[in-house]
């Protein structure tokens, strides 16, 4: 059992549940081990409902309302665009709408079996539909339209309506591609007077051929899914009714979750993708064994896989997940890949597996000069931790290291960027927040039926006492929100970004379900991630639903779209508890003035005004769902959209005047690692086009003490000299 957004102390309530569950189910034994095993599925339902009901912070009542929620979520997950099921199917399924709670308690799989078998049937039929539709040219002169608002659309009443829906959906996609191709041909002609433009008929045929290829790939992916994959969809429709963050992980998903939270894996260090029946190397992970070996390269196709000196297994036509399983393995073990190289040659490549660190997971920093002062920008993509290794990398240790490096580089202020950071480990939040305060509470934790617990930074040392800005957006969630809230409540730094953060104020425990059965013959049961606690700001308020409101709100292109926790129908409610005992930071007399200055700058900034206008336009466009399938009308509509969009092109083309560079240690590493060099240069280029980072640097300027001269002199040293004088 490991914990996301949890502290290193044990959650006693969960331990009691686990012990009780172990005693209850320890004797349960299964004999058969089959790919599609209904007895295993029934056991899984029993385990899931028991663990969630006993361990969840506020378990939902399993009744008819619960059943209706499962039904709605599951059917939408199976057929979100309503292009597989007929109305007659839905009429048949709807008889179970109020029975799923009873089926869950009775471990009855009849609804799942019915929907799964029907879905497989409809998908097989759909393969013939799209091939028939794309076998002949579209008539783009007909005056017809297609509505892409699938949520409000009815299910097709019969095969004729279903076929017509497929036809229109494919036609819309092909029409868009066709017009793009026509524009491309026109551009080629402009650049080369001798270029012979392809005819309409040739381009129309190309778009249909591309559509066939695209749909073949989609159905190839669908074909790779087995009954267990679809059962996971059903299971997660059940778990989601408790709250949006209670989920079931099948074995492979649990492994991917562990990799995402730790940022490392054991394997060869290559990203794979499906290419028809083949498995293609899409990218080599910098620093991994495949990258170090310099024999494997992006574009290579894997034909066979052998373990050490074992016999090579043909993986052509094999599911991508199964190929990945064969290639991954423990550190120090050997895998031999038979690959078809980009140049067409066949080669056997031996690779010794190792620990692979996924660099994109980890914190990184950059230096920038502004008005004679030097500032540091730290980007934290995730609050990562290795639950299995206390000495492994974690976000807390890495941010402390980056802060130390920036201090030694003589920075006068730090921007900590947690935009798009979805969270992670709570222990790392406490460590990171503690770098910026002397000592005190960071976050409060509440478990059902228990007194609150306050997590403290007890280290009196302050790693950075200078100006601090935290950047957030509407996708900053969970751990990001705790950090921003703590810094805001202490008035230790200024929070700038979207109007509010995502609004996830809950803690989840990940519980391995395999510990509850004696026999391994049942196979890997996966794990359940369930909400066990809520966390609260030190001021007593929850971040649940409300998130953290920025001190300085910057216009956001997606500000008006509904994408937060508050927009999910079964999210847990907001509440508050007593505040913790803490002292507000009072070492910055410019704090309030810096906020005022920033707000004034934003209000007067033409670029920010354009972003705000663009946000409103994007919101209005989201309501437009009907598209003409007549080529002339479609072109006119697209031309109007493109003409309007030209006004917002300066948003994408914007460039600030700053030059961002790596710290010396990383510059050395980049000289030996072309991939790392390319990634850092891309990041620095992104920073140089980021108006939000520019404003964060402006705020750091405003936070400077008036006595600090515009030289590359650390604030701390300057203050010390002033104190002596």
Tokens of 467: 């100006």
DSSP 80-124: TTS-S--HHHHHHHGGGTTTHHHHHHTT--HHHHHHHHHHHHHHH
Q: Are 537 and 489 in contact (CB under 8 A)?
A: yes
Separation of first and last alpha carbons in the chain? 57
What whole-number distance in Å separates Cα of residue 12 and Cα of residue 222?
42
What whole-number distance in Å separates Cα of residue 632 and Cα of residue 635?
5
Task: Return phi, psi of residue 370, to 5°.
Answer: -150, 120
Scanning the structure block, which residue is given the tokens 């004696």? 518
Task: Return phi, psi of residue 206, to 5°.
Answer: -60, -40
Number of H helices, E strands in the chain: 23, 23
What whole-number distance in Å separates Cα of residue 450 and Cα of residue 14?
12
What whole-number distance in Å separates Cα of residue 359 and Cα of residue 285?
8
What whole-number distance in Å separates Cα of residue 54 and Cα of residue 13?
9
Name the strand (E) or helix (H) holding 366.
strand 364-370
In this structure, the chain runs to a length of: 725
- The alpha carbon dihedral of 465, 469, 471, 472 has a sign of positive
Catalytic sites, residue numbers: 478, 489, 504
Tokens of 90: 């839905």
Q: Are 448 and 13 in contact (CB under 8 A)?
A: yes
Q: Using CB atoms within 10 A of its CB, is residue 127 exposed (0-12), middle (13-18) or buried (19+)?
A: middle
Nearest to 420, CA basis, from 472, 352, 488: 472
Q: Are 384 and 362 in contact (CB under 8 A)?
A: yes
Scanning the structure block, which residue is given the tokens 């920073």? 687
Nearest to 285, CA basis, from 666, 673, 624: 673
Nearest to 703, CA basis, from 715, 694, 712, 692: 715
What whole-number distance in Å separates Cα of residue 10 and Cα of residue 21?
17
Q: Are 607 and 651 in contact (CB under 8 A)?
A: yes
Nearest to 551, CA basis, from 586, 591, 601: 591
Tell me how crowded residue 391 is: count the other CB atoms within 10 A of its CB: 7
Tokens of 368: 């920038």
Tokens of 349: 């490549």
3-state secondary structure of 137: coil
């Amino acid at each position: 059992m490991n914990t996301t957004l949890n502290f290193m102390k044990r959650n006693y309530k969960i331990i009691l549940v686990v012990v009780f569950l172990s005693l209850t189910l320890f004797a349960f034994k299964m004999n058969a081990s089959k790919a599609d095993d209904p007895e295993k599925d029934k056991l899984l339902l029993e385990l899931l409902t028991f663990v969630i009901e006993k361990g969840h912070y506020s378990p939902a009542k399993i009744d008819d309302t619960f059943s209706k929620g499962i039904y709605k979520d599951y059917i939408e997950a199976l057929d979100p665009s309503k292009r597989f099921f007929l109305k007659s199917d839905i009429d048949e399924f709807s008889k179970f709408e109020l029975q799923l709670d009873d089926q869950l308690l009775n471990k009855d799989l009849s609804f799942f079996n019915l929907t799964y078998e029907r879905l497989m049937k409809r998908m097989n039929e759909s393969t013939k539909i799209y091939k028939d539709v794309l076998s002949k040219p579209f008539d783009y002169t007909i005056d017809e339209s297609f509505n892409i608002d699938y949520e409000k659309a009815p299910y097709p009443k019969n095969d004729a309506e279903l076929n017509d829906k497929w036809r229109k959906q494919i036609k819309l996609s092909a029409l868009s591609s066709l017009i793009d191709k026509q524009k491309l041909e026109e551009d080629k002609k402009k650049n080369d007077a001798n270029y012979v433009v392809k005819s309409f008929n040739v381009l129309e045929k190309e778009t249909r051929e591309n559509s066939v290829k695209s749909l073949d790939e989609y159905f190839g992916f669908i074909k790779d899914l087995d009954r267990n994959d679809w059962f996971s969809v059903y299971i997660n429709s059940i778990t989601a009714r408790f709250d949006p963050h209670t989920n079931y992980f099948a074995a492979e998903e649990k492994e991917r979750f562990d990799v995402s939270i730790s940022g490392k894996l054991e394997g060869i260090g290559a990203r794979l993708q499906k290419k028809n029946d083949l498995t293609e190397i899409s990218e080599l992970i910098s620093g991994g064994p495949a990258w170090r070996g310099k024999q494997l390269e992006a574009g290579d196709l894997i034909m066979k896989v052998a373990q050490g000196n074992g016999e090579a297994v043909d993986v052509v036509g094999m599911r991508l997940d199964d190929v990945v399983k064969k290639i991954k393995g423990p550190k120090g073990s050997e895998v031999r890949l038979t690959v078809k190289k980009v140049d067409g040659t066949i080669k056997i490549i031996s690779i010794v597996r190792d620990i692979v660190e996924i660099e994109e997971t980890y914190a990184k920093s950059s230096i920038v000069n502004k008005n004679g002062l030097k500032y540091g920008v730290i980007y934290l993509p995730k609050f990562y931790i290795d639950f299995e290794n206390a000495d492994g990398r974690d976000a807390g240790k890495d941010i402390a290291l980056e802060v130390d490096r920036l201090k030694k580089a003589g920075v006068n202020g730090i921007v900590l960027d947690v935009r798009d950071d979805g969270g992670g480990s709570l222990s790392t939040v406490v460590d990171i927040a503690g770098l910026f305060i002397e000592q005190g509470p960071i976050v409060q934790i509440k478990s059902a039926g228990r007194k609150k617990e306050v997590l403290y930074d007890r280290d009196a040392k302050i790693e950075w006492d200078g100006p601090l800005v935290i950047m957030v957006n509407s996708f900053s969630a969970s751990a990001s929100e705790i950090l921003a809230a703590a810094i805001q409540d202490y008035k230790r730094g200024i929070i700038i970004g979207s109007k509010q953060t995502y609004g996830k104020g809950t803690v989840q425990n990940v519980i391995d379900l395999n510990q509850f059965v004696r026999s391994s013959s049942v196979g890997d049961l996966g794990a359940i991630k369930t909400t066990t606690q809520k966390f609260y700001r030190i001021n007593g308020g929850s971040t649940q639903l409300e998130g953290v409101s920025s001190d300085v709100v910057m216009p956001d292109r997606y500000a008006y779209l509904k994408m937060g926790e508050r927009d999910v129908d079964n999210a847990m409610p907001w509440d508050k508890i007593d505040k913790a005992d803490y002292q507000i930071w009072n070492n910055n007399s410019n704090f309030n003035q810096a906020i005022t200055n920033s707000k004034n700058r934003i209000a007067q900034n033409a670029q920010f005004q354009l972003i705000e206008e663009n946000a409103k336009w994007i919101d209005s466009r989201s309501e437009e769902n009907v598209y003409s399938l007549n080529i002339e009308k479609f072109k006119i509509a697209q031309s109007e959209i493109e003409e309007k969009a030209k006004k917002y092109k300066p948003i994408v083309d914007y460039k600030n005047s700053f030059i961002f560079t790596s710290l010396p240690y990383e510059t050395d590493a980049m000289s030996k690692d072309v991939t790392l060099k390319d990634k850092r240069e891309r990041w620095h280029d992104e920073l140089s086009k980021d108006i939000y980072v520019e404003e964060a640097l402006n705020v750091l300027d405003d936070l400077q003490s008036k006595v600090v001269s515009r030289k590359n002199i650390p604030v701390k040293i300057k203050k010390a000299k002033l104190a002596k004088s």
